[in-house]
Structure 1
Amino acid sequence: MSAETASSAGTVIASKFIHLTLNPDGTVDRSRMVIPVASASAAPDPTSPASPVLSKDVPINPSHNTWARIFLPQRVPSCSEEKLPLVVYYHGGGFILFSAASKEIHEFCVTLARELPAVVVSVEYRLAPEHRLPSAYDDAVEALHWIKTLQDEWLADHTDLSTCYLMGSSSGGNMAFHAGLRASMSHGDLEPLKIRGLILHHAYFGGTQRTPSELRLENDETVPLVVSDAMWELSLPLGATRDHVYSNPMADGGIELFEELEKMRSLGCRVLITGCDGDPLIDREVELAKMLQEKGVSVVTDFAEGGQHGIELREPDWCKLLVQTMKTFMATKTATGHGGVGLPDKISTQIVA
């Protein structure tokens, strides 16, 4: 069946908005504007002393064409022997767009590595619809198993594997959540890697029923509703609805993830959820935070007024605030409930038909 036949009219309309061409064989052609050709040569010279952050690309699974871009901050000599925390980063793009080599994503990871400071591993994973979910989740967890082996000298020499955070933006936030659940269930196999927390930045979740924020921002310039629906249609398993657990882990109170969430709680893994009310996805993020709290998972929330989806990747002032929030979150080593941030009552979580 062709992608055109399998897709709704909305997906065809959305494909023009995000510069995709649907092919008869179910694949898509992506504009070079939204996903560059990625290779090790795309990274800045890792030996350049002028850069405050060094970077290089290393393969993870050549058969899947997955790899990682590692970011290592230059440090003052007095700190040279102190190992740094690790942030494993999953980029956004609705599971179908962008790359760890995309300029915006590269520069965001440079900022994180420099300002936290931390070693950042940005994961290049397989994209849908050629590789529908759970392929991206498989790649996300495979990257963790690769990291723990310390095959790369930067990781071996400079990284504290006992202080690891999984972070993602948009669909990458969804990936960080599901990778975190999987990692909790197999935490013994990941040693010495220890995941201390998840950082879900404007995380991408959905559902068949609309939320007030989705309806209020139906024609949002960054993530209009028709585009969000199309991305789910192209990335979820064939025949799945947006209430599939990959899209809507909050369905039925999260009952499908009961065992995974209980394990995450017992391990003391903390979750930071950030967003803003200018993002159509904000109600989903608030709903997720409430569900996790009900399951006893330690949650910190940071929801701002205004803004738009993924604004921290484009606006330096917003990025500074995000980095400060991350620093505070990462400095807290034990589970402490909300961490003093709390859930704002002013953001509605009502689901409407």
Structure 2
Amino acid sequence: MEAGSTSQERERPRASPPALPCAVRLQVTAFSPLIDVINRRDGTVNRGLYSVADRVLRVRASPRPDSSGVRSADFDVDASRGLLARVFSFSSPAAPRAPLPVVVYFHGSGFAMFSARQCYFDRLCRRICRGVGAVVVSVEYRLAPEHPYPAAYDDAVDTLRFIDANGVPGLDEGVRVDLSSCFLAGSVRLAGLISVQPYFGGEERTESELRLDGVAPIVTLRRADFWWRAFLPEGASRDHPAAHVTDENAELAEAFPPAMVLVGGFDPLQDWQRRYADVLRRKGKTVEVVEFPDGIHAFYLFPDLPDTARAIERMRTFVQSNRTSPSAPEPSRGNDID
């Protein structure tokens, strides 16, 4: 709670903690103190300690398909700045015959932590590949505070441009992609935007932030404030346009694609996410809000939670509904671009 909070805010009734399976509760309970130690009070990240956690959590890309036929490979987008991506696709025997849509995924972390190569996001992208029926490209963007705004955004745009110019590297022979059906789960023509509990904020404290602070796991006001300070330009407030989307600062192209926003009922950021969807609607864009009342922040990382499978299914429906070429031609060779 900020020092300037009113007595009414301090007396606001707090929510009850979410009911979580034991395995999930143990993981999110372990997560909190680790993050609080890594995030230093001076606004820097303890990269030495972070690197230890990263080595524990990191998994290598594997050309050997898993039990569901999904394989992975890493490729450089711009090696000079350490920008790379991990692609998840079906092995040739398991691949559908038609060209596959592409989902470009940007992992969560408040722009300051985690990696496309860590186990939680590796497993998630395998589930998206398998459940949606898509090739998934997970971007290893640069992290704040060493690389503040707009570094992560630049990395995102440059990855899309790379895919547009080069296709998707690292696919098995016989696996084709349909770049007219490219989805952001976060140049190439975008067929859709999948905003999975998007990270927005502002100087205002919303009702959900106040009610769930210290009750819901992973995101607290203190951690969110730290991540915004690390990411935003020096001296900027949380009302910076990169954090705080409004009718006035949202400049959306005419071709802005249909969007789906996933919102969790135990995510402190949920009010900001609904406001984002409202801005899109007022701008005349097509947007669908999918509510998961029991969803904590990042619930989709935990397959033990029933909402994880439901979220993947909603992604699949959204992708199939917004593909620009649902009746794809028969494949002819390798990584063709239609």
Partner in structure 2 of residue 338 of structure 1? none
Q: Secondary structure at the match of 1:107?
A: helix
Question: Is the contact between residue 199 and residue 271 of structure 1 (CA under 8 Å) also seen in structure 2?
Answer: yes
Deviations 1:294-331 (A, max 9, x none): 11010011012122101111134222101111122112
Q: Secondary structure at the match of 1:305?
A: strand
Q: Which of the numbers 288, 313, 324 marks the counterpart of 2:313?
A: 324
Number of aligned residue pairs: give it. 290
| Rounded Cα–Cα distance in structure 1 between residues aligned with 2:255 and 2:171 | 28
Q: Secondary structure at the match of 1:300?
A: strand
Instruction: Report whether the alignment pairs 1:194 with 2:189.
Output: yes
Partner in structure 1 of residue 202 of structure 2? 207
Distance change in 2, residues 1:241/1:155 (3 Å): farther
Partner in structure 1 of residue 148 of structure 2? 132
Question: Is the contact between residue 132 and residue 319 of structure 2 (CA under 8 Å) also seen in structure 1?
Answer: no
Show the 5 A alignment for 1:117-266. 117-150=133-166, 152=169, 154=171, 157-167=175-185, 176=186, 190=187, 193-219=188-214, 220-250=216-246, 254-258=247-251, 261=252, 263=253, 266=254
| Rounded Cα–Cα distance in structure 2 between residues aligned with 1:277 and 1:289 | 16
Distance change in 2, residues 1:267/1:217 (3 Å): same
| Rounded Cα–Cα distance in structure 2 between residues aligned with 1:276 and 1:138 | 28
Partner in structure 2 of residue 69 of structure 1? 86
| Rounded Cα–Cα distance in structure 2 between residues aligned with 1:199 and 1:34 | 29
| Rounded Cα–Cα distance in structure 1 between residues aligned with 2:184 and 2:126 | 16
Distance change in 2, residues 1:36/1:51 (3 Å): farther
Q: Which of the numbers 109, 125, 132 marks the counterpart of 1:109?
A: 125
Greater RCO (CA < 8 Å, at least 6 residues apart): 2
Distance change in 2, residues 1:35/1:23 (3 Å): farther
Question: Is the contact between residue 43 and residue 226 of structure 2 (CA under 8 Å) also seen in structure 1?
Answer: no
Give the AA of the match of 2:224. S
| Rounded Cα–Cα distance in structure 2 between residues aligned with 1:76 and 1:229 | 47
Q: Secondary structure at the match of 2:248?
A: helix
TM-score normalised by length of structure 1 = 0.75
Deviations 1:314-352 (A, max 9, x none): 1342221011111221122389xxxxxxxxxxxxxxxxx
Give me the CA root mean square deviation.
2.8
Q: Secondary structure at the match of 1:230?
A: helix
Deviations 1:33-92 (A, max 9, x none): 6533899xx424304575620101111111111100000123657x64311000000001
Question: Is the contact between residue 89 and residue 171 of structure 2 (CA under 8 Å) also seen in structure 1?
Answer: yes
Partner in structure 2 of residue 187 of structure 1? none
Partner in structure 2 of residue 343 of structure 1? none
Kindly state the Cα deviation for residue 25 of structure 1 after the two structures are TM-superposed.
11
Q: Secondary structure at the match of 1:198?
A: strand
Show the 5 A alignment for 1:296-311. 296-311=284-299
| Rounded Cα–Cα distance in structure 2 between residues aligned with 1:206 and 1:68 | 27
Question: Is the contact between residue 36 and residue 99 of structure 1 (CA under 8 Å) also seen in structure 2?
Answer: no
Question: Gaps spanning 5+ residues in structure 2: where?
Answer: 4-31, 325-338
Compare 46-55 and 299-308 and name the one that shifted more.
46-55
Give the AA of the match of 1:276. G
| Rounded Cα–Cα distance in structure 1 between residues aligned with 2:323 and 2:64 | 37
Q: Among the aligned pairs, what percent are the same residue?
A: 32
